[in-house]
Structure 1
Amino acid sequence: MTQPVNIQMHLTSQRRPFYRDLTFQVVVGMALGVMVGVLWPNVGSALKPLGDIFIRLIQMVVGLIIFCTVTHGIASVRDLGKVGRIALKAMVYFEVVTSVALVIGLVAINVLKPGVGMHVDPAALQHGMDAGNQGAPVPHGFGEFITNLVPTSALGAFSSGDILQILVFSVLFACGLASLGDNAQPVLRIVDAIRQTLFWIIRMVMKIAPIAAFGAIAFTTAKFGLSSLLPLAKLVAEFALTCVVFLLVVLAPISHVCGFSLFKLMRYFREELVLVLGTSSSESVFPQLTEKLTRLGVDESVVGMVLPTAYSFNHDGTCLYFAAVTVFLAQATGTALGWQAQLGLLLILLVTSKGGAGVSGSAIAVLTMTLAATKTIPVSSVALILGVHRILSAGFVFVNIVGNCVATVVIGHWEKVVDRDKLQRELQAG
């Protein structure tokens, strides 16, 4: 009779103190960063390297993790028809959901109209725009984007950190291994050992995540100040509301139909979601997402194919961002932009954004260069959102990560390769 009680007491005693939880530590780091940035802006401005070093440590192994995960997942399946089927289902899902996100973003910004009445003269912002756009990468056109999917060399793809090129090489390499049958097993064992080693590195790097969040937020607050965010508070509030609506109206029902709770899934990935709010970098959590999705019971072949592809094509949050900021800038500058023009511009942005896939902070560069090329909205008006871009980017990266996790589980559900008992057990314990 006393055994269940003893087990419960043992489990309770094994729980970590709250102050050792990474989520709590990251939140504390962010709060301290805001305080330092406000009270000692000179100190806050000097703390930027803390966040940059953390992101570089993650970027250092992301390419190899994608290669090992995709290679081991596909080569272990040995069914190339299944690989093609997974890829097709994923692309259809990405296209449908991102299109819905685009519509929601457009409706919200046109109904709430946060930029109407600002009467901004774009010419007055030209100097700030030039300063804020130095070193921005130029997005590719659609033809160049397709060409650049194929790396000129395998090593070049890894050295440049281009996720799409790494993915293409990894799929081809995995298919080649799968064709060898049992002869591929020694190589697969080496690949799996390398993958486990890389995950160990990531676990060590994650220990400094609170310090990274502290430095990133301190710099952001010191750079722009709290008062500088007030004029754009309506845009920030509108975008936050749009993100919440998308999660509730789109991703929650999709998750429910596929037999899991969106909110339990978000709780399960709470450490990663809090971290992207602090760093505004989706790359900083890719390795952890790969490991935890597999732990949830999703087959590794699905995780290896869907998650890296989602990072480049499933931009739910980015769609919401582009819809919000483009129409906001048109409203702020008094630029006439009808529904057809809005849809056309955003469709172009969705294509050109693929050229910046895998480039941290590419959204603002893609927006700037696309506006310059299309000549619809004054490009200098982008300076208006530079002060709040970091806040907006944290929001759309957050939604992107949630959307990518949902997509991976959903495709696994469609393929019937999700361990349902393990999924529910992990989500309940998470």
Structure 2
Amino acid sequence: MKKLFTNLTFWVLTAISAGALLGHFYPTQAVEMKVLGESFISVVKLFINPIIFLTITLGIIGMGDLKKVGKVGAKALIYFEVVTTLALLVGIVVANLLRPGDGVVTSALQKGDISMYAGKVQDFSWWKFFLDNVTLQVLFFSLVLGTLLSRYSRKDKIVHWLNFASKYVFKALHLVMILAPIGAFGGMAYTIGKFGIATLLPLGKLMVTVYATMAIFVFGILGLILRTCKISIWAYLKYIREELLIVLGTSSSEAALPSIMEKLERMGCSKPVVGLVIPAGYSFNLDGTTIYLSMATIFLAQVFNVHLSMGQILSVIGILMVTSKGAAGVTGSGFVVLASTLTAIKVIPVEGLALLLGVDRFMSEARAITNIIGNGVATIWLANNENEFARKKMDYAFAHVNDTEDIIKDNLTDRTLPDQPK
């Protein structure tokens, strides 16, 4: 029993349940809890760029072979494009098979104001995408600095201080993660209190279809990818269950980004691969967002009885292959990208976005969870492919998953877990 009450996963799950109950029975008070969720995410975001900088810089210095760094980066981009294209195809195929938009009466639904999203629609620009994406800028700067330091003859003292900084950045992160239940409580209470369970009923079929499609993609496509590495998708999901619950409660995959990087290293992925793939993946490998965008487009076409020819469906795929890459760098993310996609297609009314406003928040959890799982799988696959994966460390991490969950308590008492196999 004592073990249960000191388990962070237990408290996050309890907080999510409490938040849902507060949102349902006391919606006015629950909406005011929004500040708890947003504050937690904001604090965690403060760690993202320092961790990316330290992980990549130290990783490149330690790797030594700069050609391999470039090779890993190139493979990652190819992997991202292939898997997100598969995600697009899965979303479009399932939406056309199950047809969640059939029978939806637009006049019976409460419509919302989409001007704040439609007003941001603009032509996609890679230059603006890079300028607006601080994470990519930090990634690029870290690559350059790591490359320069790897050639510097007196780098030992610099590496010492970087390692010192890395140790205490992660120690501070572990302290912040103690507040994860509070953030999850605030996020879930706000979602249920603001939008209510009743808003799910008119678009219930779309909700079920989206969640089912995400599950098909995770256990089908991503599970198959992990199987090529002789790793069980179930074992991996059990290993990162704490991060998945945090994402579920906060509806933000960024809330678990720093801790997922640490866990991937702990399970055997090399520091350079983790440092390269995870930050880049949050901009170029948004599997869950990609599935949602493709399904939402087909759903709205069905609602308005717009028959999309094969040529138009191929156009949707082509447009989303570009616009979905900007989902992480735009305020309002998915809605803005979806609005820009509908504008480009010019056959589906953009006003149809108002139908999705009430349920979008409930589907954001599925998107965020799929995104974080997809980026973890990408990292594991690339690490295996580049012989940068220590399987003994993975076996140890999976076998001692509860010890890994206790790492926060270990850091608070300045103790460490037993050394893992090399």
Q: Indicate whether the TM-score tops 0.5.
A: yes
Paired position in structure 2 for 1:42: 28
| Cα gap change, 1:188 to 1:122, in 2 (>3 Å) | farther
Counterparts of 1:273-422 in structure 2, within 5 Å, are 273-359=244-330, 361-422=332-393
Q: Secondary structure, in 3 states, of the residue corresponding to 1:17?
A: helix
Take 1:305 and 1:139, find their aligned partners in 2: how far apart are those partners? 29
Counterparts of 1:223-302 in structure 2, within 5 Å, are 223-302=194-273
Shift of 1:271: 0.4
- For each residue in 1:333-381, what CA deviation from the matched residue of structure 2 results, as whole angstroms up to 9, or x when unmatched? 2222223312312432331232342556511222123323442321111
Q: Does structure 1 conserve the Cα–Cα contact (< 8 Å) formed by 2:54 and 2:166?
A: yes
Shift of 1:420: 1.1
Q: Does structure 2 conserve the Cα–Cα contact (< 8 Å) formed by 1:163 and 1:358?
A: no
Q: Does structure 2 conserve the Cα–Cα contact (< 8 Å) formed by 1:280 and 1:393?
A: yes
Amino acid at match of 1:337: L
Take 1:114 and 1:147, find their aligned partners in 2: how far apart are those partners? 35
Take 1:199 and 1:219, find their aligned partners in 2: how far apart are those partners? 29
Q: Does structure 2 conserve the Cα–Cα contact (< 8 Å) formed by 1:121 and 1:333?
A: no
Paired position in structure 1 for 2:126: 145
Take 2:68 and 2:373, find their aligned partners in 1: how far apart are those partners? 25
Is 2:105 the partner of 1:133?
no
Q: Secondary structure, in 3 states, of the residue corresponding to 1:336?
A: coil
- For each residue in 1:252-296, what CA deviation from the matched residue of structure 2 results, as whole angstroms up to 9, or x when unmatched? 121111121111111100000111111111111111011111111
Is 2:55 the partner of 1:69?
yes
Is 2:154 the partner of 1:190?
no
Amino acid at match of 1:109: A
Q: Does structure 2 conserve the Cα–Cα contact (< 8 Å) formed by 1:54 and 1:212?
A: yes
State the number of aligned residues.
401
Is 2:186 the partner of 1:205?
no
Q: Does structure 2 conserve the Cα–Cα contact (< 8 Å) formed by 1:70 and 1:174?
A: yes
Take 1:267 and 1:174, find their aligned partners in 2: how far apart are those partners? 34
Is 2:157 the partner of 1:174?
no
Is 2:105 the partner of 1:114?
no
Paired residue for 1:91, among 77, 85, 110? 77
Contiguous gaps of at least 5 residues in structure 1: 1-14, 152-159
Moved more, 373-382 or 86-95: 373-382
Q: Secondary structure, in 3 states, of the residue corresponding to 1:231?
A: coil
TM-score normalised by length of structure 2: 0.89
Alignment RMSD: 2.2
Take 1:145 and 1:205, find their aligned partners in 2: how far apart are those partners? 34
Amino acid at match of 1:33: G
Shift of 1:224: 1.1
- For each residue in 1:178-233, what CA deviation from the matched residue of structure 2 results, as whole angstroms up to 9, or x when unmatched? 221x4222222222222222212211111111111111111111111111111111
Amino acid at match of 2:92: L
| Cα gap change, 1:147 to 1:55, in 2 (>3 Å) | closer
Amino acid at match of 1:94: F
Take 1:122 and 1:35, find their aligned partners in 2: how far apart are those partners? 28
Paired position in structure 2 for 1:7: none
Take 1:124 and 1:43, find their aligned partners in 2: how far apart are those partners? 23
Take 2:329 and 2:242, find their aligned partners in 1: how far apart are those partners? 21
Paired position in structure 1 for 2:407: none
Q: Does structure 2 conserve the Cα–Cα contact (< 8 Å) formed by 1:108 and 1:242?
A: yes
Is 2:101 the partner of 1:80?
no
Is 2:190 the partner of 1:222?
no
TM-score normalised by length of structure 1: 0.88
Take 1:374 and 1:186, find their aligned partners in 2: how far apart are those partners? 56
Amino acid at match of 1:24: F
Contiguous gaps of at least 5 residues in structure 2: 402-422
Take 1:122 and 1:330, find their aligned partners in 2: how far apart are those partners? 17
Take 1:293 and 1:376, find their aligned partners in 2: how far apart are those partners? 43
Amino acid at match of 1:115: G
Q: Does structure 1 conserve the Cα–Cα contact (< 8 Å) formed by 2:123 and 2:340?
A: no
| Cα gap change, 1:292 to 1:358, in 2 (>3 Å) | farther
Q: Does structure 2 conserve the Cα–Cα contact (< 8 Å) formed by 1:317 and 1:397?
A: yes
- For each residue in 1:143-166, what CA deviation from the matched residue of structure 2 results, as whole angstroms up to 9, or x when unmatched? x314653x5xxxxxxxx7621122
Q: Secondary structure, in 3 states, of the residue corresponding to 1:117?
A: coil
Take 2:204 and 2:146, find their aligned partners in 1: how far apart are those partners? 48
Amino acid at match of 2:310: W
Q: Secondary structure, in 3 states, of the residue corresponding to 2:106?
A: coil
Q: Does structure 1 conserve the Cα–Cα contact (< 8 Å) formed by 2:120 and 2:336?
A: yes
Shift of 1:22: 1.6
Take 1:31 and 1:361, find their aligned partners in 2: how far apart are those partners? 26
Take 1:332 and 1:223, find their aligned partners in 2: how far apart are those partners? 25
Paired position in structure 2 for 1:156: none
| Cα gap change, 1:361 to 1:68, in 2 (>3 Å) | farther
Q: Does structure 2 conserve the Cα–Cα contact (< 8 Å) formed by 1:163 and 1:357?
A: no
Take 1:358 and 1:267, find their aligned partners in 2: how far apart are those partners? 30
